[in-house]
Amino acid sequence: MGPGGLSVAGQVALSVVLVMGASLFTRSATQAARATPGYSFEGKLLVSLDFDGTGYNEAQRQQLCQRLVERIAAGPGVQAVGLSNLIPFGDFHGTDNVAFLEDEPKTDNIETIMNYGVKSYAQAIGADYFQAVGLPLLKGRYFTAQECITDAPVVIVDETLGRRLRPDGDVLGRMISRSRQIVGIVPRVRHGIFKGEMEPHVYRPLGGKISFIFLHVRLADPARGIEAAVLRRIPQEIRAVDPLVSVLAVSTLGDHHRNGTTMWIVRMLAGLAITFGAVALFLAGLGIYGVKGHMVASRTPEIGIRMALGATSGRVLAMVLREGAAPTLAGLILGMSAALALTRLVRSALCDVDPTDPASIAATLLLLGVTSLLAGYVPARRAAKVDPMVALRYE
């Protein structure tokens, strides 16, 4: 393989790495757009509220939340209304270490306290939160409104946390850290969009001082007209209850997901990867075309002799294409090896896509193979049309 062949192999290898990355991030963006936390987005609305401007104390804010829930739930087309301080796929999250009360460390050592038990996503919720998002109760019961107002010492856990605490998942009624009793078990939920597995979750009543809150509204009928009407009505209902409450955003849960920071990051990564991949593909094609063109020009007399001795245009075409296959194949093999090694480094930035995704590998090899073939075909076709008499006089 000469210098030209090495150049082709290097350009193809680099292109494979970049095109593979573009394919993976594009697949990731597609998967992220379809991802759900474990319940459907259809027929769900999300309202972001800020209570800091009201000047109310804790008790007044709790009462205000209750009035808002009752007012919106009583409106036409609404099935359930719930509250939470955080949401899956959101920009923020809270964590807590969960263990049975008898296993809680009796020490002041910070490192021990930070690492005991099962690290879980912690979420504070209102009484009807699970009904509003559409998570069924598997065992036990939901929180009562009174428990949420008083921040009662009870929690609800998901299946994942239940099985982390005890292999059979039978944790109902057990006491956990901070002397809270498990009163319910719900299905597992995915909190982070880039997480490949369901993480453990613990839910406590929404008590204490409320500053920023999410209001979840589940519609009785997800028809577009009803959805739009409720979206328009919600801000009016909130202002009717208390004009001091700041309504930061009102949207469908699906729109909130699609327009959120996480999806913006996913789309940005996919856009950058596609741009670099397209540039690499173009440069690889240009390089192959240049090398092939130079080879045809330098071997014009040889090609003329071959044709004068009886070589057909088809044989000349095949010869030129065949001689370019070796560096292209070498570049594909080298590039794919490098791509598979490097893509593992970006595993955490991919949503539901494995770094060795067969569809992405196939798309990359097919795209580079077709590009290489087309880039080499034009010079090969030109060589096949050489007039033997002209070629023999070529200097």
Question: What is the per-residue pLDDT across 157-205, written as a single tens digit (0 to 9) for each?
Answer: 999 999 999 999 899 999 998 889 999 999 998 887 876 678 899 999 9
* Whether residue 270 is found in the same domain as residue 177: no
Q: Where are the alpha helices (DSSP H) in the chain?
A: 3-34, 58-73, 110-115, 129-133, 145-150, 159-165, 224-241, 253-258, 261-298, 300-308, 313-343, 358-384, 388-392
- Is residue 273 domain-shared with residue 388, that is, in the same domain? yes
Q: Are strands 154-158 and 201-205 parallel, antiparallel or unpaired?
A: antiparallel
- Domain end, chosen from 210, 244, 278, is at 244
**Residue 256 placed within a domain:** no
Q: Is residue 40 part of a domain?
A: no
218 token code pair: 């589940």
What's the pLDDT band for 143 if we cut at 50, 70, 90?
Answer: very high
339 vs 333: CA distance, rounded Å: 10
Residue 224 falls inside a structural domain? yes
Answer yes or no: do 19 and 59 share one domain.
Answer: no
* Same domain assignment for residues 300 and 189: no
Mean pLDDT, residues 258-262? 85
Percent of the chain with pLDDT over 70: 83
Backbone φ/ψ region at 134: left (φ over 0), alpha (ψ -120 to 50), beta = left
Q: What's the number of CA atoms in the CB half-sphere (13 Å) around residue 368? A: 36
DSSP-derived secondary structure letter, 245? S
46 falls within a domain? no
Last residue of a domain, one of 184, 214, 244: 244
What pTM did the predictor assign? 0.78
Say if residues 212 and 85 touch (Cβ distance below 8 Å): yes
Q: Are 322 and 5 in contact (CB under 8 A)?
A: no
Number of domains in the chain: 2
Answer yes or no: do 112 and 145 share one domain: yes
**130, 90: one domain:** yes
- Structural domain for 372, as ranges: 3-34+263-392
User: Which pairing describes strands 180-186 and 154-158: parallel, antiparallel, or unpaired?
Assistant: parallel
> What was the pLDDT predicted at 159?
94
Mean per-residue pLDDT for 329-336? 85
Clarify whether residues 279 and 373 are in a common domain.
Answer: yes
Q: Is the pLDDT of residue 259 over 80?
A: yes
Element (H, E) at 176: strand 175-176
The overall average pLDDT reported for the chain is 83
Answer whether residue 372 shows pLDDT above 70: yes
Residue 253 lies in a domain: no
- CB distance 284 to 368 below 8 Å: yes
**Which among 364, 185, 211 has a CA at the least distance from the CA of 280?**
364
Residues 232 and 315 in one domain: no
Supply the pLDDT for residue 19: 87
Q: Are residues 7 and 151 in the same domain?
A: no
Assess whether pLDDT exceeds 70 at residue 2. no
Residue 47 is assigned to a structural domain of this protein: no
Which tokens belong to 36?
């759900």
Domain assignment present for residue 251? The answer is no
Assess whether 309 and 373 both reside in one domain.
yes
Structure tokens at 323: 């001689």
Q: Is residue 126 assigned to a domain?
A: yes
Which of the pair, 288 or 30, is modelled with greater confidence? Answer: 30
Q: Are residues 186 and 129 in the same domain?
A: yes
pLDDT at 368: 83
* Dist CA 287 CA 115 (whole Å): 55
Per-residue exposure over 33-55, b if at least 16 CB sit within 10 Å of its own CB, e if not: eebbbbbebebbbbbbbebeebe
Residues 65, 207 within the same domain: yes
Whether the predicted pLDDT of 394 surpasses 60 = no
Last residue of a domain, one of 244, 275, 295: 244
